[in-house]
Amino acid sequence: MDGTLTSFIAALRNAEVRVSTAETLDALSAVELVGYDDRELLKNTLSLMLPKTVDEKETFADTFDRFFAFEDVDGALDAGDAGGDGQGNGDAGTGAGGGEGAPGAGAGNRKSKNAFLAAATKGEGEEELGHGEMASPRSSLGQLLMLDSRVELTVRMVEAAKAVNLEQIQVFTQKGLYTRRIMDEMGLPGLQREINELRMRGGLPERRLSQELSKRRERLREQVRDYVERQFLLHADATGRRLREELLRKVKLSNVEHRNFRLIQEIVFKMAKKLVALYSRRKKVFRRGHLDLPRTLRGNMGYDGNIFDLKWKSVKVDRPKVFAICDVSGSVANYARFMLMFLYSLEEVMPRVRSFAFSSDLAEVTELFERNGIEDAIAKTLRDYGGGSTDYGQAFEDFRHKCLDDVDNRTTIIILGDARNNYGDPRTEILKEMHDRAKRVLWLNPEPRATWNAGDAEMRRYIAYVHQAEECNSLLHLERIVGNLLRTVQ
Amino acid sequence: MVSGTRLPIVLLKPGASVNLASFPATQGHRVAESAVNIERVTESVEALKAEFDAHRYICSDQIATAVYLAYHLRKPVLIEGPPGVGKTELGKTAATIFGLSLIRLQCYEGLDEAKAIYEWKYGKQLLYTQVLKETLEEVLQGARGFAESVSRLHEFGDIFFSEAFLEPRPLLKALREEEGCVLLIDEVDKSDHEFESLLLELLSDFQVSIPEIGTVKARREPPMVFLTSNNTREISDALKRRCIHLYIPFPDTDLEQRIIHARVPEIPPRLRRQLVTFIQELRDLDLKKVPAISETIDWARTLLLLHTENLDPQLVRDTLNVILKFQEDIDNVDVEVPVLTNKAVKS
């Protein structure tokens, strides 16, 4: 029973519902209390114990239905569910062959199954052998098939699936492979041989059996395929997506194909959201002059209760400032979009970010970002400031003119660009000034380190005046840098 | 509807001080009487649901299951959902059903341990130090040297930080209730992050630590804790992990009709159906604040007062301010009123 619950929780985790070990234990004791008898109650109970947001609850409902849909026919559950099983089966029989679907557990099960098979037999138009004596099968799978016990068949199937590690299925192309493997594990080769042999021997009872067995084999194959499909959805659907995301993270941003833009955007947002959740702690500022009586009295106990050392209710407000300067010129056109996306997310993550964009002249885009959605903001920035030829000297000059006075020792300055200055004056003295005033200056360069000084790149000169220079051309880089950044500014 | 086992509900604003000890001793007797009843009620989810129904709180299976689990597992319940779906009411009704007193802590920005857990009676402490100054001399009489004086004083040491000078606030009070109680921590999302962390110890171990005295554990029965949140901000994972998480959405037409029936039984069925349908339609519109159940109830009462038998557009327009709380919304809906009313009447 506990195994069922833990594998259900594994499936939940796969569907991106976060379940901790403590919650697993809680869920176990809750299930102990309510039992497995009442499906609806079980669902309600687990949905109270495991998912902890509205989104997660929706995911939970889907996963529960999918997971326990199979467990129903599995027969691994107790009598209550077996009843449901028989009923579902009966319905299928009614649809196919007109047999009566009795709702009782065992009887209904068998009867409807026979009806179903009879219908399937007629449909295929093989040689008519009539009803009559039938030989008994010898291979183990054959015996199992002729046994007409759905439960046992299913149990065998699940065992086989476990043996071939079905839960490790990752991409949908593997479905056929796993179906085959499970069939083999269940003893398909032996069955195959038996069918052939029976056909060769030619006696009527043997041929009847051979025909019956191959029909049942096909049905089994279908059943296994269904099972693999469901397990794939349960275990691999999200894994596949995660795989793709993983890949995208490592890929160079300039090489990302256009169709993946949306996914990238989602990843950046997810990243930003994760960071927001981690770092956005509300800091409460009490009005100055609010006397903290308890602390005052406690603090003055030592002075015979005479109050002369006043304590104030004040919370130190830590306000890191970030100035982000983004190069959007022609040479980094491929990256600019992502850099801006990053900048935009940064504004959401950090309490006080001011963003600037430049090709040659520098302009502040903070407000533009605040007022527009991400798509519009990026498009507008690129339209208004992008595409020109780069002039870092001019941009630094503008920065000094516009807001160097606002830079203080709690400020972090982030520069995003390739430092390709078209052989113009690099104006390193301004960068030095920025370096001296700010807490940190960070340079994120989209080019690989090896080419930082090739051609018209001035990285060599600039690097002397920054605290840290990093290569940044994939989401993985970005994530790492942002994480570090937040750790230092907070 | 009032059963014999009903106990007084104590509503405490933080800061208000009610001496719980002053409640009559009959309480114990009553509790004993109701113990059988409680056993019957908590036997199954259905029984609990029926009991809630009897107390005019119509709830879904999910809600009843949550209370059932909370009772048996002694875990706090975190209730989330849009405003006005009966989150606070659930806590109150549960208190009534279990025959426990209700201690309520309303959260707000800036709430700290001094207002939520305990506070020293500083005035009393100061006063006593002044009064006892003379006594001090007596105590110290004959003491030779500084060291001996100090050691004599130590014997009296912690008097000023003892129970006598302790002012319990709701959380501490809840722990000290002999018979257990229902602790309702309302709108926990309004409080600060620090306060949330403060709650963790209470929620997982039913104890709080007071530096000067030590750890106070729950008496015989730990309290049943309900926390409500309006989702104005995300509650931390640590807190969520310790709770049963219940999300109460707006009810569907059927459930809402039953709620109205329970709350405003005088209203004729036809009108009830009409007004619930209307509200349900309204919730699909893009509004600044969608009407909640409490608004539906208010509206039902209003219509009853006006002796309405059928909804008609003019009447709806006139009473729209009962269900919509923003002029902007009222203006927007005004145009749609005839269509919506028509739909509701035909339902």
Most confident of A265-269, B19-23, B342-346: B342-346
Query: Would you state the pLDDT for residue B329?
Result: 86
**Please, which residues 195-234 of chain B have a Cβ atom closer than 8 Å to chain A?**
233-234
pLDDT exceeding 90 applies to what percent of chain B?
21
CA B248, B252, B258: angle at the middle one, nearest 5?
95
User: Does A361 score more than 90 pLDDT?
Assistant: no
Percent of chain B with pLDDT over 70: 88
User: Each residue of B49-73: pLDDT tens digit?
Assistant: 999 998 889 888 999 999 999 999 8
- Name which of B65, B110, B126 is nearest A41 (Cβ-Cβ): B65
Average pLDDT of span A232-250: 67
Q: Is the pLDDT confidence value at A362 over 90?
A: no
Residue B110 in contact with partner chain A when CB distance is under 8 A: yes
What's the pLDDT score for residue A479? 75
Over residues A114-129, the mean pLDDT reads 45
SS3 B77: strand
List, as one string, the DSSP characters of A253-307.
GGG--GGGHHHHHHHHHHHHHHHHHHH----PPPPTT-B-HHHHHHHHGGGTT--
Q: Do B61 and A51 touch (CB under 8 A)?
A: no
Does residue A304 contact residue A291 with C-beta atoms inside 8 Å?
Answer: no
- Give me chain A's average pLDDT, please: 74
Closest CA to A105 of A89, A133, A82: A82
Give the DSSP letter string of B257-273: HHHHHHH-TTS-HHHHH
Count helices and strands (H / E) in chain A.
21, 6
> Mind listing the pLDDT tens digit for each residue in A66-98?
887 654 444 333 333 333 333 333 333 333 333
Measured in angstroms, the CA of A52 and the nearest CA of chain B are apart by 6
pLDDT > 90? residue B183: yes
B21-to-A90, A91, B17, B30, B178 alpha-carbon distances in Å: 64, 64, 12, 16, 10
**Are the Cβ atoms of B120 and A294 closer than 8 angstroms?**
yes
> Which secondary-structure segment (H or E) carries A373?
none
Chain B interface includes A450 (CB < 8 A): no
Q: Which residue has the higher pLDDT, A40 or B136?
A: A40
Quick one: pLDDT at residue A347? 74
- Chain A positions in Cβ-Cβ contact with residue B119 (cut-off 8 Å): 294
* B339 interfaces chain A, CB cutoff of 8 Å: no
- Picking from B69, B193, B245, the nearest residue to A33 by CB comes out as B69
More confident residue, A259 or B148: B148
How confident is the model at residue A71, as a pLDDT?
Answer: 45
Could you give the percent of chain A with pLDDT greater than 90? 3
Could you tell me which residue, B10 or A152, shows the higher pLDDT?
A152
Cβ atoms of residues A290 and A459 within 8 Å: no
pLDDT the model gives residue A256: 62
Mean pLDDT across the stretch A126-137?
A: 62
SS3 per-residue string spanning B136-192: HHHHHCCCCHHHHHHHHHHHHHHHHHCHHHEEECHHHHHHHCCCCEEEEEECHHHCC
| Phi then psi dihedrals of residue A441, to 5 deg | -120, 130
For chain A, say whether B129 makes contact (Cβ under 8 Å).
yes
Q: Is B193 a residue whose pLDDT tops 90?
A: no
pLDDT over 70, % of chain A: 72
A22-36, B146-160, B201-215: which has the minimum mean pLDDT?
B146-160
Average pLDDT over residues B324-333: 86
Q: Which of A96-100, A160-164, A227-231, A355-359 shows the lowest per-residue confidence on average (mean pLDDT)?
A: A96-100
Ordered DSSP codes for B21-59: GGS-THHHHHHHHHHHHHHHHTT-HHHHHHHHHHTT---
pLDDT, tens digit (0-9, with 9 covering 90-100), for A269-314: 666 665 555 554 444 444 456 777 777 777 777 777 677 777 777 6
Three-state helix/strand/coil letters over A180-240:
HHHHHHHCHHHHHHHHHHHHHHCCHHHHHHHHHHHHHHHHHHHHHHHHHHHHHHHHCHHHH
Kindly report the nearest CA distance between residue A58 and chain B, in angstroms.
Answer: 11
Look at residue B105 and tell me whether its pLDDT is greater than 90: yes
- Most A-contacting residue of B113, B196, B245 (CB-CB within 10 A), to test interface: B245
Note the pLDDT tens digit of each residue in A196-208: 888 887 778 888 8
Q: Do B192 and A282 touch (CB under 8 A)?
A: yes
Q: Read out DSSP for A236-258?
A: THHHHHHHHHHHHHHS-GGG--G
Range of A378-387, B258-267, B279-288 with top mean pLDDT: B258-267
CB contact under 8 A, B114 and A282: no
pLDDT for A486? 62
Is A375 exposed, middle or buried (CB count within 10 Å of its CB: 0-12, 13-18, 19+)?
A: exposed
B62·A47 Cβ contact <8 A = yes
Contact yes or no for B45 and A41 at CB 8 A: yes
Q: pLDDT higher for B265 or A4?
A: B265
B247 and A57 within 8 Å at the Cβ level: the answer is: yes
Residues from chain A contacting residue B110 (CB–CB below 8 Å): 284, 286
Q: Residue B217 belongs to what H/E stretch?
A: strand B214-217
- Yes or no, beta carbons of A51 and B75 under 8 Å apart: no
What residue type is A156 in one-letter code? R
Compute the nearest-CA separation of A34 from chain B (Å): 9
Structure ipTM: 0.77
pLDDT, average across residues B205-211: 84
- Whether the CB of A61 is below 8 Å from some CB of chain B: the reply is no
Pick the residue from chain A with its C-alpha nearest to B76.
A49
Q: What is the mean pLDDT of residues B181-190?
A: 90
CB B87 within 8 Å of CB B94: no
**Range with the largest mean pLDDT of A53-62, A173-182, A350-359, B255-264:** B255-264
Contact A447, A469 (CB under 8 A): no
Q: Which long-range contacts (CB under 8 A, 24 or more apart) does A368-375 make?
A: A369/A343, A369/A344, A374/A265, A374/A341, A374/A344
